[in-house]
Amino acid sequence: MFRIDPRSPAHLDTIAQEIRELANGLTLLTHNTPETAAFTAGARMKALGGMTEMLSNTLLYNLSGEPSADRTERRGAGALATAAAGTSQAMGHLAEALRQVAFLQEHATRMPGLDLADAQQAAWNVIGDRLDEARTALEDTATQLESDTRHLTQPPRRPAPRRTVPIALTQRPPTPVSVPTARRQRSAP
């Protein structure tokens, strides 16, 4: 494993590509067994654990202490923190899939019955859903990291200059008018 430099677009792109590769193939096959489902979820979870450790080490190093004066480094660390949140979310989905596999294994030797068949089908449905959710979380995370990487070195956006907009007459405060205080006399006809 290499050390991630949050200022390096190449490093962030590499992490995004690794996340995208973990998302690929994260589905249930037509004919699954608890063992194949366990391998599918467990192998991805193990790989994500290694990635999470690498991300957390980088974040710990870059976010502890005084904030960096380097704007690109701060932006890159923020992008990696977002990626860590997405990969952790995917790990949660994979852990739930493995919990359902454990349920299937636990009840594999029970006497078959209608209730057991329904429970097993429900477990398979949850496994499929959690693998789909993990894949989606990883794809979204990779896409977000790629987007953050493209914007890593762009100059900060400055707000547009304020323009004076004419105010409609009905919105203007009333203009004071001087009122004569002396009485006027009418001229005689």
Q: How far, in Å, CA of 20 to CA of 141, rounded?
A: 8
pTM over 0.85: no
Q: Check residue 163 and give its pLDDT.
A: 66
Question: For the chain, what's the residue count?
Answer: 189
Residue pair 53/97 in contact (Cβ under 8 Å)? The answer is: no
Q: How far, in Å, CA of 160 to CA of 158, rounded?
A: 6
Q: Check residue 166 and give its pLDDT.
A: 62
Q: Check residue 185 and give its pLDDT.
A: 64
Q: How far, in Å, CA of 16 to CA of 50, rounded?
A: 14
Q: Check residue 170 and give its pLDDT.
A: 61
The parts of the chain modelled with pLDDT lower than 70 are 1-2, 30, 156, 160, 162-189
Q: Check residue 137 and give its pLDDT.
A: 96
